[in-house]
Amino acid sequence: MEFAVIQTGGKQYNVSKGDVITIEKLAGEHKEGDAVVFDKVLLVEDGNDTTIGTPFIPEAAVKGTITEIGRAAKVVVVHYKQKSRYFKKNGHRQHFFKVKIDSLK
């Protein structure tokens, strides 16, 4: 089975052809259906041979298509100090991209 390990958004993902992964929002203007190329490939396994980068493999790339752009569920952040009437409540929704992996190269 062929797979690769890529790095994006400060995280590493183990991907194969046909996988759908949820990643951090990428910089720049993107819309659903756009093609993206991940060039920070750390490891490639093709069934017979394993290639490990130092830290990246120079000629390797993983191509994908953005299938969804959205925001995650709200995370509520509460700061509270007892006996001092201090209470703050904030919400946060993280942006994400869902990417379908098209090819490993």
Report residue 60 CA to chain centroid gap.
17
Between CA 104 and CA 4 the distance in angstroms is 7
pLDDT mean over 27-34: 95
Domain that holds residue 24: 3-104
Judged by DSSP in three states, 62 sits in strand
Report residue 95 CA to chain centroid gap.
11
Whole-structure pTM value: 0.84
> What's the pLDDT score for residue 103?
94
Number of domains in the chain: 1
> What's the pLDDT score for residue 1?
81
> What's the pLDDT score for residue 70?
97
The percentage of residues in the chain with a pLDDT greater than 90, rounded to a whole number, is 96
Q: Does the structure show a pLDDT above 90 at 47?
A: no
Name the residue type at position 19.
D
- Give the sheet arrangement for strand 35-38, strand by strand: 20-24, 95-104, 62-71, 35-38
Q: Does the structure show a pLDDT above 90 at 105?
A: no
